[in-house]
């Protein structure tokens, strides 16, 4: 298949990991770290960023290869990215910046670009929404632009789009595919938490209470604290609770920002339950990851799956991709079912 032409909305840390990842794997003889080196006949080399939008003065107007390394991005540099000729366009601000991130982001005074015109001129096929958590209005605005430009839409943010029946219908009516919401991490705390709970309950352990809390140093952690902690907590708690076949006290969701962690994330897990003859068991665990690369492999899979969806002329929310790649798909299914549905879709 020809290359997948991608437009990125928000040139933050995830965008940096995505673009660096394309370079890293295109030049590397290894595919270590990739879940699917080839998917639908496409490799990392077959994805190309053809348009990008942001509102930060340090990114707008710059080649996307430079913008990904501009402040306040702090995803680690793992690859040299050659100049692409794709300049970051200015999008409308709307609710893109919260009251705490206003102190971190420098808003560009450039005029807003005509997003539909840019998407069409660039030949973009898949629009990937990487706006901050809580940018609901802006996420909806870019979904409208994707509809108007005839592009597929990937919603990596927690804004409800694919899981909102009205939005799914709008994409179905426009004969375009849509996936979301809230991308799953490759080695994420949610998947680890669910796996631990399932393993324990399959073995007859009765979980009484469990929580999972995060501390991160990226801009996204500030946004989550400021604007979307409740929504994120709701999404994560709901999906984690679904891993247990009975009701228990479950809390899962981001908590705090510590600047010196940079793009790292510390995740804490607490699980308490009883097993044979009411014997108690407790798990108290810390898990450390780097945030942005954690989105890379899943984004690679989802973008290539969307190319497949486009060639198959699928429309509306593409459920096998939603359940595989997102924390809040239109319908939550067990992890094994999600894997099977995605494998079947790709095959
Ligand atoms: N592992 C992960 O990092 C991960 C996993 C799951 C979901 N996500 C989601 O992905 C999204 C992006 O995460 P991130 O860490 O890259 O965030 P980030 O804060 O680093 O990047 C967001 C970018 O959007 C830009 N922006 C803000 N308002 C805008 C507007 N109106 N128009 C265009 N650009 C605008 C910002 O300037 C910034 O460059 C978040 O919603 C996050 O919840 C990330």
User: In the prediction, which pLDDT does 220 show?
Assistant: 85
Q: How far is the CA of 118 from the centre of ligand 1 (A)?
A: 20
Backbone phi and psi for residue 266, each to the nearest 5 degrees, phi listed first: -105, 125
The domain tally of the chain equals 2
Q: Is 175 left (phi over 0), alpha (psi -120 to 50) or beta?
A: left
At 49, is the pLDDT very low, low, confident or very high (cuts 50, 70, 90)?
very high
Token digits of residue 343 = 């494998």
Q: How far is the CA of 21 from the centre of ligand 1 (A)?
A: 17
Q: Are residues 53 and 87 in the same domain?
A: yes
| Ligand 1 pocket, residue 93 CB under 6 Å | yes
> Mean pLDDT over residues 142-171, rounded?
97
Write the CATH number for 217. 3.30.360.10
- Closest atom, ligand 1, to C-alpha of 11: 39
Is the per-residue pLDDT at 165 higher than 70?
yes
Q: Are residues 45 and 111 in the same domain?
A: yes
Q: How far is the CA of 303 from the centre of ligand 1 (A)?
A: 17
Q: Are residues 27 and 109 in the same domain?
A: yes
User: In the prediction, which pLDDT does 100 show?
Assistant: 84
> Mean pLDDT over residues 50-56, rounded?
98
More confident residue, 134 or 229: 134
Q: Are residues 87 and 193 in the same domain?
A: no
Which of 290, 310, 337 is a domain's end point?
290
| 192-227 confidence digits (pLDDT tens) | 999 999 999 999 999 999 999 999 998 888 888 887
Residue to mutate (ligand 1; options 19, 127, 220, 262; most atoms within 8 A of CB): 220
Q: How far is the CA of 204 from the centre of ligand 1 (A)?
A: 40
Percentage of the chain exceeding pLDDT 90: 86
Query: Residue 317's domain spans which residues?
Result: 4-184+293-346
Is the per-residue pLDDT at 232 higher than 90?
no
> Mean pLDDT over residues 60-74, rounded?
97
Q: What would the DSSP string read from start to end of 192-234?
A: HHHHHHHHHHHTT-EEEEEEEEEEE-SHHHHHIIIIIHHHHHH
Q: How far is the CA of 88 from the centre of ligand 1 (A)?
A: 15
| Ligand 1 pocket, residue 10 CB under 6 Å | yes
Q: Are residues 227 and 243 in the same domain?
A: yes
Range with the poorest average pLDDT among 9-18, 43-52, 204-213, 221-230: 221-230
């Amino acid at each position: 298949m020809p290359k997948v032409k991608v437009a990125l909305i928000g040139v933050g840390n995830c965008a940096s990991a995505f673009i660096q990842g394309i370079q890293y794997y295109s030049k590397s003889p290894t595919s270590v770290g990739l879940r699917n080196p080839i998917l639908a006949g496409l490799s990392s080399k077959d994805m190309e960023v053809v348009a990008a939008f942001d509102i930060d003065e340090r990114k707008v107007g710059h080649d996307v290869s430079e913008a990904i390394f501009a402040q306040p991005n702090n995803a680690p540099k793992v690859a040299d990215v050659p100049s692409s000729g794709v300049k970051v366009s200015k999008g409308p601000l709307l609710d893109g910046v919260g009251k705490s991130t206003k102190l971190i982001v420098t808003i560009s005074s450039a005029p807003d670009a005509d997003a539909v015109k840019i998407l069409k001129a660039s030949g973009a096929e898949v629009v990937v929404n990487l706006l901050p958590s809580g940018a609901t209005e802006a996420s909806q605005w870019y979904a409208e632009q994707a509809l108007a430009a005839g592009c597929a839409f990937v919603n990596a943010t927690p804004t409800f789009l694919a899981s909102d029946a009205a939005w799914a219908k709008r994409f179905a009516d426009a004969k375009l595919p849509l996936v979301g919401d809230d991308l799953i991490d490759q080695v994420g705390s949610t998947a680890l938490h669910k796996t631990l709970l399932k393993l324990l309950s399959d073995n007859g352990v009765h979980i009484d209470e469990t929580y999972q809390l995060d501390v991160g140093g990226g801009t996204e952690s500030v946004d989550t604290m400021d604007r979307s902690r409740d929504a994120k907590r709701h999404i994560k708690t709901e999906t984690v609770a679904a891993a247990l076949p009975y009701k228990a006290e479950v809390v899962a969701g981001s908590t705090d920002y510590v600047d010196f962690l940079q793009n790292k994330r510390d995740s804490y897990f607490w699980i308490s339950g009883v097993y044979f003859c009411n014997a108690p068991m407790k798990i108290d665990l810390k898990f450390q990851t780097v945030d942005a690369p954690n989105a890379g492999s899943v984004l690679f899979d989802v973008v290539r799956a969307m190319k497949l969806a486009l060639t198959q002329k699928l429309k509306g929310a593409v459920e096998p991709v939603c359940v595989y790649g997102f924390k809040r798909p239109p319908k939550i299914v067990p992890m094994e079912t999600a894997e099977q549905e995605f494998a079947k879709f790709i095959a």
